[in-house]
A and B are shown apart, each in its own frame.
Chain A
């Protein structure tokens, strides 16, 4: 196909798109990094999409593409969605940041919403959840529950969101158990059950009796169950099929209210580019039920911590805190500002590992 033909068909598609919009159905697109049945991250985004359909019924049409690789391929998929007449497109992984910005430049009339990124534009909003608040609760439980004092952490990619989670979990584990040690494996994937299982097994073989994961499948839960004597936490989704043991609690992402509100804004014509970052308080981050495998007093402590994070009386990053190199970061009582958190690229003092570049 030559360029002229391509452009012609693009124009035709654009024409079709405009006609479609005239038919007063709001079309909302979703780009997913994994399959909708991953039981974790993408599953929860798809629950949000279903909530939009339920809320608006015939007035809305949703489309989604799953397992879209981060990078050039994503740009193609997002462009395709925009050409097909989507009014609002949610791109739900960090690696879609630049593709989203690039496509948004070409389609000024389409609204974009990028999850977990930091690049905003007139027609690109960014939204994320303060998962680190949930990590604080996990760290507290993990620090108290571990007997080997080794906590294994399956990390995905060295981006601020993941590093924040490691720091938050470590700070709160350390505060209740000074001997705690973190072993971190970077899997370099969001979703690869076999690799996640291998990583969990490697950590368990090296003595970890708590596994925290920042990858999307339930494979580490299964590995922990097979090993026995190891506890885990559900990631992104409740993963309650592994409760009450090994899964003792979870971080649940709840995107539905946000997706409904943003779709509504597009319908009403009130959509504006915003930067949303909500936590436990606003309901975007949920703490899954703490199971009976956790002693009652510890459960009460964890719930108290959750409530303090929710009402804002406690910040997960409260000084005194030092960076890994020993330099001062936060003074006594000082809390971290959102700017530093959004771009976090350092470990706090006490983590014996290096962040890959």
Chain B
């Protein structure tokens, strides 16, 4: 065992990168669920975002345009879910699962000609002096812009939900859609916007994998992160800061366990491999002991005449 081989600064820096796709997808889904809609299609929207972003950034040569395309791609796909559940009043669970399957297939089709191509590189933050400072430089001031967007999104969603009128309306719709409707709020419109926000975030999270974290296009490359994001929302009790904690814990322990393995630590690998799931769930379950539950209308279909 040689723990000195692990550089804690690099470790923290790479855990932030590993956690970001999860964080982005989860914060989008949190808003969707806060509005009372359960969209199980996160994985599908992520993978479509991954290929949309990849294709556009390869074609245009601009990673930023690619990220924009991923946001639009994810939001467009989520519109399909919105149409099925909000207008055709289809079952949300079934529609969400269908969206994932559809997204995986669609992305494979779209990605046919992009296998083995390298995307243009995303520039990283490089502030003179500050980025070169030991320890805090690599950890806080030398990442790609999307990582900062992710953290900023958490803060924004938290503030909006807690302090703003928009947040109040969103929560009202999610807790009791009939009451919100009686008060004159357009439930369908609020939910539609929330679903699109969720799709946009998932798309951005997917593109983060295909453009920055891996960077390449491979079919099925999100490999289940969307599902982990869904679980994370529940275990974080629908609270943005806990989401951040959960995502960093999960990403962090994942990176840490790989590093521990490489350093040859004497803990059986099986335990290391399952530790990210175990510890994240454990910590969040203990934290959610304050009984803050799911939005009361979560997963229920709304129709104004009923």
Contacts and interface: CB of A to CB of B under 8 A. Distances in A.
A197 B223 contact: no
A349 interface: no
B26 to A, nearest CB: 15
Interface string B103-130: 0000010011001111000000000000
Q: Which of A192, A194, A208, A353 has the most CB of B within 10 A?
A: A194
Contacts of A193: 209, 214, 216, 218, 221, 223
A222 interface: yes
Given A206-B6, A218-B116, A192 B262 contact: no
Contacts of B18: 194, 198
Contact of A195 (B10, B223, B264): B223
Contacts of B215: 222, 226
Interface stretch (A30-38, A167-175, A337-345): A30-38
Given A193-B209, A357-B268, A202 B21 contact: no
Using C-beta atoms within 8 Å of the partner chain, give the interface range for chain A: 35 or more
A35 B115 CA distance: 12
A262 interface: no
Nearest to B119: A222
Nearest to B258: A202
B258 A37 contact: no
Contacts of A34: 220
A202 B273 contact: no
Contact of B219 (A37, A183, A184, A241): A37
Contacts of A39: 115-116, 218
Nearest to B224: A192
A352 B222 CA distance: 33
A202 B221 contact: no
B155 interface: no
Interface string B1-39: 000011100110010001001000000000000000000
A353 B259 CA distance: 14
A206 B261 contact: no
Sorting the interface of chain B by its residue count into under 10, 10 to 19, 20 to 34 or 35 or more gives 35 or more
A199 interface: yes
A219 interface: yes
Nearest to A206: B5
A222 B214 contact: yes
B254 interface: yes
Nearest to B271: A356
Interface string A150-190: 00100000100000000000000000000000011110110
11 contacts: A37-B108, A39-B116, A191-B223, A194-B213, A202-B258, A205-B6, A217-B218, A222-B215, A223-B214, A225-B118, A241-B117
Interface of A: 34-39, 67, 152, 158, 183-186, 188-189, 191-195, 197-199, 201-203, 205-208, 217-219, 222-223, 225-226, 241, 352-354, 356-357
Interface of B: 5-7, 10-11, 14, 18, 21, 108, 111-112, 115-118, 209, 213-216, 218-225, 254-255, 258-259, 261-264, 266, 268-270, 273
Top 3 closest pairs, chain A to chain B, by CB: A35-B219, A37-B219, A241-B116
